[in-house]
Amino acid sequence: VLANDLNPKAVEYLEKNVLCNNVADKVVVANMDGRDFIQQCVGAGAKGSSLPHHIVLNLPELSVELLLPAVRGAFCPCLWHRRSMPLVHLYTFSRHEDPEREVRERVAAALEVPEEWLEDFDTRRVGTHYLPKPSGDGRSGK
């Protein structure tokens, strides 16, 4: 498991959890920008190093537009030589009346691929009280 967080305090607790759960030999913890972390992991995998089977982008407000472009172009089958490519899980918010369609469009745009290339696309609705309140500038606010 390759784990990363930009927040040093979150990394501190992640490292404590790794030790408490006796998985230090299975988890590598990093404290860096998520985009750099993703590019480093994907780049290593494309060059033959081991690569995780799953990449989880758990920054709901920014995962599509900020983090997902970091994997753009990295999953070309010609680079992987018949190895399984990782499954990317991302969490995001949508206020659209058809959230699956809207998120699918955003993901395709972020990756610069046709929507048809997106596989295993699944969405789940949660209560609107989890959604950030919109701010006046078009971005979500806290």
pLDDT tens digits, 24-53: 999 989 999 988 988 887 766 556 566 667
Lowest mean pLDDT among 24-28, 50-54, 69-73, 127-131: 127-131
The residue among 131 and 99 whose pLDDT is bigger is 99
pLDDT at 106: 92
Is 35 in a helix, a strand, or coil?
helix
Radius of gyration for the chain, computed over Cα atoms and rounded to the nearest angstrom = 17
pLDDT at 55: 81
- Does this model's pTM top 0.85? no
Burial, 134: exposed, middle or buried (Cβ in 10 Å; 0-12, 13-18, 19+)? exposed
Residue 78: pLDDT over 80: no
Lowest mean pLDDT among 1-10, 14-23, 63-72, 114-123: 114-123
For residue 81, the tally of other CB atoms under 10 A from its CB is 8
The residue among 125 and 98 whose pLDDT is bigger is 98
**Taking all residues of the chain, what is their mean pLDDT, rounded to a whole number?**
79
Quote the CA–CA distance of 15 and 23 in Å, as a whole number. 10
Q: Which two tokens stand for residue 94?
A: 């949508």
Quote the CA–CA distance of 56 and 121 in Å, as a whole number. 14
Quote the CA–CA distance of 16 and 19 in Å, as a whole number. 5
Q: What percent of the chain has pLDDT over 90?
A: 22
